[in-house]
C-alpha cells in the first residue's frame, strides 16, 4: 500500500513530518521517498519486483484546517490522533473521508 502513509493519525507525533513540530501539518498522504524506500526493502528481502503491486487510492481525505486562508506547507489541521473535525463525506458519512 503506497497511500495513507500519513494522515490525521500523525497528530502529536513530531517526527512523522520534517519541519512539523506537532505532527499536524496538512501535507500529502503519499510520500514518494518513503514509497521508494519501502519498495527497495521488499525487493532487497528477495521479493521479485514482478510480485509487487502498487496501490492507488480512489477516495480522498479531508481535514478541518486551523486557518482556512493558509495555502503553504506549514498549514495545520485541527482535531486529534483519532478525531477529525472535517465535515463528514456526503457518501461515506465519515468525517475526514470523502468519495
Please spell the DSSP secondary structure of 39-81, one letter per residue.
HHHHHHTT--GGG------SSEE---BSSTT--STT-BB-EET
User: Does pTM surpass 0.85?
Assistant: no
CA distance 77 to 31: 18
Q: How confident is the model at residue 35 (pLDDT cuts 50, 70, 90)?
A: confident
Q: How confident is the model at residue 65 (pLDDT cuts 50, 70, 90)?
A: very high
Residue 40 has pLDDT above 90, yes or no: yes
CA distance 98 to 92: 6
- How does the average pLDDT of the chain come out, rounded? 83
**pLDDT recorded at residue 70:** 92
82: cell is 483519532
Q: How confident is the model at residue 2 (pLDDT cuts 50, 70, 90)?
A: low
Amino acid at each position: 500500500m503506497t497511500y495513507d502513509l500519513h494522515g490525521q493519525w500523525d497528530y502529536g507525533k513530531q517526527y512523522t513530518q520534517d519541519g512539523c513540530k506537532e505532527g499536524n501539518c496538512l501535507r500529502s498522504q503519499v510520500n514518494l521517498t518513503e514509497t521508494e524506500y519501502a519498495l527497495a526493502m521488499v525487493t532487497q528481502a528477495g521479493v521479485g519486483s514482478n510480485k509487487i503491486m502498487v496501490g492507488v487510492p480512489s477516495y480522498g481525505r479531508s481535514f478541518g484546517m486551523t486557518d482556512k486562508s493558509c495555502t503553504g506547507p506549514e498549514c495545520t489541521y485541527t482535531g486529534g490522533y483519532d478525531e477529525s473535525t472535517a465535515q463528514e463525506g456526503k457518501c461515506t458519512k465519515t468525517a475526514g473521508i470523502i468519495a
